[in-house]
Protein backbone atom coordinates (compact mmCIF):
# COMPACT_ATOMS: atom_id res chain seq x y z
CA UNK A 1 0.00 0.00 0.00
CA UNK A 2 1.08 3.57 -0.62
CA UNK A 3 2.77 5.29 2.32
CA UNK A 4 3.21 9.01 3.01
CA UNK A 5 5.85 9.96 5.57
CA UNK A 6 5.98 13.27 7.44
CA UNK A 7 8.29 14.47 10.22
CA UNK A 8 6.51 14.11 13.58
CA UNK A 9 7.19 17.66 14.63
CA UNK A 10 8.44 21.04 13.43
CA UNK A 11 9.21 23.96 15.74
CA UNK A 12 9.42 27.50 14.46
CA UNK A 13 9.71 30.99 15.92
CA UNK A 14 7.02 33.57 15.14
CA UNK A 15 7.73 35.41 11.92
CA UNK A 16 9.96 32.66 10.57
CA UNK A 17 9.27 30.01 7.93
CA UNK A 18 8.07 26.46 8.58
CA UNK A 19 8.52 23.75 5.99
CA UNK A 20 6.68 20.44 6.32
CA UNK A 21 7.65 17.61 4.02
CA UNK A 22 5.56 14.68 2.80
CA UNK A 23 7.51 11.82 1.30
CA UNK A 24 6.05 9.18 -0.99
CA UNK A 25 7.14 7.10 -3.96
CA UNK A 26 6.82 9.32 -7.06
CA UNK A 27 4.49 11.63 -5.18
CA UNK A 28 5.28 14.25 -7.81
CA UNK A 29 2.95 12.36 -10.17
CA UNK A 30 0.02 12.72 -7.77
CA UNK A 31 -2.12 15.62 -6.59
CA UNK A 32 -1.33 16.41 -2.96
CA UNK A 33 -3.71 18.09 -0.55
CA UNK A 34 -2.77 19.57 2.83
CA UNK A 35 -4.99 19.85 5.92
CA UNK A 36 -4.61 21.82 9.12
CA UNK A 37 -6.16 20.33 12.26
CA UNK A 38 -6.29 22.39 15.44
CA UNK A 39 -6.88 20.73 18.79
CA UNK A 40 -10.41 19.40 19.14
CA UNK A 41 -11.44 20.45 15.64
CA UNK A 42 -12.03 18.77 12.29
CA UNK A 43 -9.35 19.11 9.59
CA UNK A 44 -9.49 22.05 7.20
CA UNK A 45 -7.98 22.17 3.71
CA UNK A 46 -5.16 24.73 3.50
CA UNK A 47 -3.79 23.69 0.08
CA UNK A 48 -5.22 21.54 -2.67
CA UNK A 49 -3.76 20.21 -5.88
CA UNK A 50 -0.20 20.79 -4.65
CA UNK A 51 -0.22 24.58 -4.69
CA UNK A 52 -3.75 26.01 -4.75
CA UNK A 53 -5.11 27.90 -1.75
CA UNK A 54 -8.84 27.62 -1.02
CA UNK A 55 -10.73 30.82 -0.42
CA UNK A 56 -9.89 32.30 2.96
CA UNK A 57 -6.47 30.67 3.34
CA UNK A 58 -3.68 33.26 3.73
CA UNK A 59 -1.03 33.69 1.04
CA UNK A 60 1.50 32.69 3.71
CA UNK A 61 0.60 29.07 2.90
CA UNK A 62 2.27 27.69 -0.21
CA UNK A 63 3.26 24.33 -1.60
CA UNK A 64 5.40 22.38 -4.02
CA UNK A 65 5.51 18.82 -5.25
CA UNK A 66 8.24 17.09 -7.20
CA UNK A 67 9.96 13.73 -7.33
CA UNK A 68 9.42 11.90 -4.05
CA UNK A 69 8.63 14.91 -1.85
CA UNK A 70 5.80 17.38 -1.46
CA UNK A 71 6.30 20.41 0.79
CA UNK A 72 3.97 22.75 2.64
CA UNK A 73 5.60 26.07 3.46
CA UNK A 74 4.18 28.47 6.01
CA UNK A 75 5.80 31.90 5.80
CA UNK A 76 5.77 34.54 8.52
CA UNK A 77 4.47 31.99 11.02
CA UNK A 78 1.89 33.18 13.55
CA UNK A 79 0.79 31.70 16.86
CA UNK A 80 -2.51 30.73 15.24
CA UNK A 81 -0.71 28.40 12.84
CA UNK A 82 0.06 25.99 15.66
CA UNK A 83 -1.70 22.77 14.68
CA UNK A 84 -1.26 19.31 13.21
CA UNK A 85 -0.77 19.21 9.45
CA UNK A 86 -1.51 16.23 7.19
CA UNK A 87 -0.79 15.59 3.52
CA UNK A 88 -3.16 13.39 1.51
CA UNK A 89 -3.33 11.79 -1.93
CA UNK A 90 -5.56 9.50 -3.94
CA UNK A 91 -3.65 6.30 -4.67
CA UNK A 92 -4.89 5.26 -8.10
CA UNK A 93 -3.26 1.84 -7.76
CA UNK A 94 -5.47 0.80 -4.85
CA UNK A 95 -8.23 3.36 -5.43
CA UNK A 96 -7.82 4.27 -1.77
CA UNK A 97 -7.16 7.59 -0.11
CA UNK A 98 -3.97 7.90 1.92
CA UNK A 99 -3.06 10.40 4.62
CA UNK A 100 0.42 11.25 5.76
CA UNK A 101 1.56 10.45 9.27
CA UNK A 102 1.02 14.03 10.40
CA UNK A 103 3.29 16.84 11.62
CA UNK A 104 2.77 18.86 14.77
CA UNK A 105 3.82 22.46 14.24
CA UNK A 106 4.81 24.25 17.42
CA UNK A 107 5.25 28.01 17.44
CA UNK A 108 7.96 28.87 19.95
Partner 1 sequence: EVKLVESGGGLVQPGGSLRLSCAASGFTLSPYWMTWVRQIPGKGLEWVAKIKRDGSEKYYLDSVRGRFTISRDNAKKSMYLDMNSLRVEDTGVYYCAGVESMAAAFDPWGQGTLVTVSS
Please report, as ranges, the residues that interact with partner 1 according to CB under 8 A.
Answer: 1, 31, 33, 35, 37, 41-45, 48-49, 54, 86, 88, 90, 95-102
Least distance from C-beta 14 to partner 1, angstroms? 26
For 62, counting Cβ atoms within 10 Å of its Cβ (0-12 exposed, 13-18 middle, 19+ buried), the class is middle
* Residue 28 · residue 22 · CB < 8 Å: no
Q: Considering beta carbons, is residue 5 or 17 the nearer one to partner 1?
A: 5
Longest distance between any two alpha carbons in the chain, whole Å: 41
Q: Considering beta carbons, is residue 13 or 84 the nearer one to partner 1?
A: 84
Amino acid sequence: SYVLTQPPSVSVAPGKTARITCGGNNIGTKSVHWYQQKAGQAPVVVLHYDTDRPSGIPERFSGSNSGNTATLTISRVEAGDEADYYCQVWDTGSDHYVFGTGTKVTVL
